[in-house]
Structure 1
């Protein structure tokens, strides 16, 4: 029996353990900014394997001058106290090092929208429901089970296998993956278990930036409203300009990997969204300012500076066409998320290897995908010259109500990652 056969048997025999681990991770409510409880579950599992994990809280002072750094909203709000990263190294031979893992944090839920309890795992046949079962506690659990299976199968890798569970990916990953890399855990390649629907393999991520537009008005009593200027009306003008820019960009920008795995993304590979607007404090008063907060996402092909310039120009042009705003222009500010897009070649060794193994394990063809969401993988590619791919389970309703994945897909993920480790690191005879 080959190493691969023994390892596959070990994973298939631990299906109940895999589901139990996912359940414990989901029940640890690790909304970004409150990741500790989930990391405790991870540490316990690693220690049960006889490993001695490195557990530390990020220190922005150590990497604030890094070109990939920005202050995340969760770090601004909560700092990094009691928000540790976790890394464990399985020592191998003198060969190449492979990093596996992903993020422990999840986005919050609106419980009234869920038909099931979001903070535990509900199994219905092959389907598992719960916040994070796909994005991405299922993938993390698959990585951990893959490590245990390799050990139980007696596989001694020819190089080190480094597992990592990181914080705040949903908020930018600065205190997570960037902190891990700056701590010295720089591998030869990385496989992150993001839910990219195996056997698809992710090779790209989107750029993401947050912006704020302060739109002025002139405050007066509503009874003398003709003497003032309503900032909400001016904000509507700016909003329409941003909507027009969004439509123009959607028609102009194409990135096939973004919709090879999800066809409905064709024509929607970039997006500008105004998510909040704040204005006024009294129905009888014209508000003197409206503040809009938005997000822009885009695939590889443009720099952050180019995208910022387009949004600032759209706002400026909207103001120039308005008699009052021409002399009282809105102000555009950039805050929070400030991530560049990235893309690696499908011909890169880890990408080609991952795709072949995933198709062999799943028994069906896959595609090279990505570019519609920001990912931690960018840190490896953009700043450390390390190829990183996304290899993770099938999932649906990510960030939405009744998020779900399947047991089969999690088992396939664990098997694929373990086999990638064997082939990439080699086996120490």
Structure 2
């Protein structure tokens, strides 16, 4: 380990890495607690209890905790399935060094169907770890805690003071917690986000995401004696047809962001999907209300205002003559796109990932994604450089059934974090830089 850098044999750093390697049992214990805490969004009612848990886990490592709640007027989209205080936690250790802010979103998508393992319970199968959030992204919390625990155990000097940002509503919220922290000037130093993958990647940016809720009003009535009833689901059929036509148009639009290697040179394209539909509850009644949720992934080259206007115009045109008594639209989620996030700390983080995971430096490639991140709001607040790491891999089940990561990847990410933070990690080798304030 660290063999290709002549100054990397610092005794304390080697001791910390050895201590980390012996910590797998505690990593699994803490990850089990983290997975068992239900922070599903929607609704988002578990954030306060999760902040309690994080305070208990970080206090023994010398962190001082500060709770910051997003004002309800900002995050409340006025829909019944989103509720609860938006509690963000800032855990800081300060020793006069430059700050590195380590970002984690604490919310997960709801478990959903199709699981063969309990979604809110850590299941260990050999080196595979199953549970909602293991990959996206609660497993990264366990990695960071393990890295810092190893540094504390041996008294390892750090190049940066770590500040841990545990944030709400990344999974589609109207006002993500990191946006509020950034706009309030509470994000210090440079930012290391763990909303990425366990792959040798240089992040080139990502798409924005818009969630539009459409509510169609009918009139409930007995299905055997409909009278003047209006079936809200049937009134939505023209809209569903129009959205399908728009989808075909939207998904022809390409982005200049470099595509992931798995796309084999095919450009990234905009996306439009109907992702939820709710209406009716029994066969004997016509549904008086029908609700759709439409998700639109838009490229950095597109303007949010244009994307929203196109959707709203499509809805309005489709609903003319539909028979519905009325309809409303409301933006219930928005993540801004991320432009080029590289900066002076990227080479050091790349070197740490290379050492931690064992990836050759030449294996790294720069590419973007049509998925989204709340880091766009961080850039909008003036913080341009965002480092990226994480545990997501193709086939890991993130946002689906049987989500999983591996203990090997959790420990590799922990090694990468430990190396990056360590003062002894050399910043003067090939393709590396010294830490900057």
TM-score of the superposed pair, with normalisation by structure 2: 0.80
Kindly indicate whether residue 289 of structure 2 is the aligned counterpart of residue 311 of structure 1: no
**Bigger mean CA offset, 148-157 vs 306-315:** 148-157
Match of 1:380 in 2: 378
Kindly indicate whether residue 24 of structure 2 is the aligned counterpart of residue 15 of structure 1: yes
**Bigger mean CA offset, 416-425 vs 189-198:** 416-425
Is contact 2:211-2:334 (8 Å) kept?
A: yes
Kindly indicate whether residue 332 of structure 2 is the aligned counterpart of residue 336 of structure 1: yes
Match of 2:91 in 1: 88
Determine the C-alpha separation between the residues in 2 that align with 1:265 and 1:281.
Answer: 46
Distance 1:261 1:416, change over 3 A: farther
Match of 1:28 in 2: 37
Match of 2:59 in 1: 47
Please state which structure has a larger fraction of its residues in helix: 1
Match of 2:5 in 1: none
Shift of 1:370: 4.0
Is contact 2:65-2:92 (8 Å) kept?
A: yes
Partner deviation per Cα, 1:371-400 (whole Å, 9 max, x = no partner): 333323222211133422321124411121
Partner deviation per Cα, 1:280-335 (whole Å, 9 max, x = no partner): 68867776764433222223221210101221233344456xxx35x989745123
Distance 1:153 1:312, change over 3 A: same
2:106 aligned residue (97, 104, 107): 104
Is contact 2:94-2:161 (8 Å) kept?
A: yes
Shift of 1:23: 1.2
Distance 1:343 1:70, change over 3 A: farther
Is contact 1:172-1:376 (8 Å) kept?
A: no
Is contact 1:36-1:84 (8 Å) kept?
A: yes
Is contact 1:210-1:336 (8 Å) kept?
A: yes
Distance 1:42 1:230, change over 3 A: closer
Determine the C-alpha separation between the residues in 2 that align with 1:289 and 1:173.
Answer: 23
2:366 aligned residue (356, 368, 389): 368
**Superposition pairs for residues 346-365 of structure 1, below 5 Å?**
346=342, 348-364=343-359, 365=363
Determine the C-alpha separation between the residues in 1 that align with 2:17 and 2:96.
Answer: 22
User: Which SS does the other structure have where 1:208 is aligned?
Assistant: strand
Is contact 1:187-1:386 (8 Å) kept?
A: no
**Superposition pairs for residues 210-229 of structure 1, below 5 Å?**
210-215=211-216
* Structure 2 unaligned spans of 5+: 1-8, 428-432
* Structure 1 unaligned spans of 5+: none
Partner deviation per Cα, 1:40-71 (whole Å, 9 max, x = no partner): 332112111233222x251417xx6xxxx553
Determine the C-alpha separation between the residues in 2 that align with 1:157 and 1:92.
Answer: 9
Shift of 1:139: 0.5
Please state which structure has a larger fraction of its residues in strand: 2
Determine the C-alpha separation between the residues in 1 that align with 2:280 and 2:392.
Answer: 44
**Superposition pairs for residues 161-240 of structure 1, below 5 Å?**
161-172=162-173, 174=175, 176-182=177-183, 184-215=185-216, 231-240=232-241
Is contact 2:230-2:288 (8 Å) kept?
A: yes
Is contact 1:203-1:351 (8 Å) kept?
A: no
Is contact 1:201-1:369 (8 Å) kept?
A: yes
User: Which SS does the other structure have where 1:44 is aligned?
Assistant: helix
Kindly indicate whether residue 290 of structure 2 is the aligned counterpart of residue 252 of structure 1: no
Distance 1:288 1:184, change over 3 A: closer
TM-score of the superposed pair, with normalisation by structure 1: 0.82
Is contact 1:39-1:104 (8 Å) kept?
A: no
**Superposition pairs for residues 47-66 of structure 1, below 5 Å?**
47-54=59-66, 56-60=67-71
**Bigger mean CA offset, 410-419 vs 180-189:** 180-189
Shift of 1:248: 1.6
Determine the C-alpha separation between the residues in 2 that align with 1:387 and 1:412.
Answer: 23
Shift of 1:260: 0.7
Is contact 2:68-2:88 (8 Å) kept?
A: yes
Is contact 2:64-2:93 (8 Å) kept?
A: no
